[in-house]
Amino acid sequence: MDSVRPCESPAAAVDPAARWRSIAAAIGCISIVGFALALTIPLLSLMLEARGISDTWIGLNTAVAGLGALVTAAVVPRLVGRFGTVRLLYAAVTAGAVALLLLPPSPFWAWFPIRFVLTGAITVLFVVSEFWINATAPDGKRGLVMGIYASVLSAGFAAGPAVLAIFGSASPIPLAVATISFVLAAIPVALAGNVVPKVEGRSKLPMISLVFVAPAAILAALVFGAGESTTLAFIALWGQRSGFAEAEAALLLTMAGLGNLLFQVPIGMLADRANRSMVLTLCGAIASVGAGLLPMASDSVTLAFAIIFVWGGVAAGLYTVGLTQLGARFTGAELASANALFVMLYSVGMLIGPAMGGAAMDAWPPDGLPLALALLFGAYTLIAGGRWITSR
């Protein structure tokens, strides 16, 4: 298996301060980009609506983002091996900023290739940053590091839409903030020092075969992506159809976000001390049971808030522990490929999740959503549980 050379300088490799500075730089870079991403997703839809573009075409333009993520993630391992971690990150933040600058003056047809480039740049940033964090994290504290990463990223995701809420989509400020954020994301990379992971050679395993090497870890991305996108799309609607007031239904998303923010560090620390397949199994089981309990909370918004808070945090643990497991299982080119496949499957989950949730809500109103989520996480629990049993 190819190895990762964790730094440019051997001395820096054994310097804990330099290692943690490098990790902080990677987390800072991707969290700033996460903030920009959370701001631009609703902003771009509102900008197109203001132009009079139909919902169908807005949806198609947004779908190009998913295609861009899948295509780009597949080639990131080769790109990082050829150009290096730092240079590829600089290229990605530049491409993202330029793409955002090009959108306002461009005709609608040009938004399709520009959106593809924008999402491709963001995908590069996610894959490379997560590879960087995973490769640099100390073995005994990798779960803690990934938990911190997930928490900081969640905070960035929460802050992005706030800018849009304050200034509105008609103002040029939100787009300017998003563009500047891409530029600012390069600053932590410049301050990282010499502890930067390098990939030498190519993975000896085809990317898709990595699913069979670490199925519980890699499929966690697919399941969480589907569950997260379905929840974002329909949980407020489920709340309203269950009898909650509109404001109460909207707060369900807030509670899920709070759980995501607060649970990742404890879950990551648990993953450092326990069998990670067991932790993934527990996360899947609790997420499945939590979703199944939601219909019982339709008469109590307080109980629904509590369930969503715990459920949202534990379900997000799949992403945190999945990444931690990849870092423990793979190194070098294989780790870069595994991280790329992880992001690809997360993107696939984001694409198929809302279709699954919408069909379930139509088939079994109003509780088709929690039923579908319970089955999704339940099926994953069987896979992770089987992996745990065979690894004991």
Q: Based on the domain organization, do 97 and 235 belong to the same domain?
A: no
Q: What's the pLDDT tens digit per position in 130-160?
A: 989 998 899 889 999 999 999 998 888 878 8
- Identify whether 253 is part of a domain: yes
Of 145, 154, 94, 140, which Cα lies nearest the Cα of 120?
A: 94
Residues 18 and 11: their CA atoms lie apart, in Å, by 10
Same domain, 321 and 361: yes
Same domain for 191 and 172, yes or no, is yes
Q: Using one digit for the tens of pLDDT, what is the confidence trace for 175-195?
A: 999 999 999 999 998 888 676
- The reply to whether 211 and 84 lie within a common domain is no
The answer to whether residue 40 scores a pLDDT higher than 80 is: yes
pLDDT band per the 50, 70, 90 thresholds, residue 10: very low
The residue from 182, 200, 218 where one domain ends is 200
How many structural domains is the chain composed of? 2
pLDDT at 149: 92
The answer on 148 and 184 residing in a single domain is yes
Does 286 share its domain with 369?
yes
Structure tokens at 202: 């190519």
- Of 200, 233, 256, which residue sits at a domain end? 200
Q: Do 263 and 165 share a structural domain?
A: no
Helix (H) or strand (E) run with residue 334 in it = helix 332-363
Q: Is residue 239 part of a domain?
A: yes
Give me the domain span that covers residue 162. Answer: 14-200
Whether residues 210 and 196 share a domain: the answer is: no
Give the pLDDT band (50/70/90) at residue 201.
low
Residue 96 maps to a domain: yes
Q: What is the pLDDT of residues 97-141, one digit of tens each?
A: 999 999 999 999 999 999 999 999 999 999 899 989 998 899 889
The C-alpha atoms of residue 349 and residue 340 are separated, in whole angstroms, by 14
226-248 in b/e form (b: 16+ CB < 10 A) is bbbbbbbbbbbbbbebbebeeeb
Residues 176 and 272 in one domain: no
In angstroms, the CA 83 to CA 35 distance is 26
Domain final residue, candidates 181, 200, 219: 200
189 shares a domain with 211: no
- 133 and 250 together in one domain: no
User: What is the pLDDT at residue 193?
Assistant: 66
More confident residue, 120 or 207: 120
Q: What average pLDDT does the structure give for the chain?
A: 86
Question: Same domain for 261 and 191?
Answer: no
- Assign residue 20 the CATH number of its domain: 1.20.1250.20
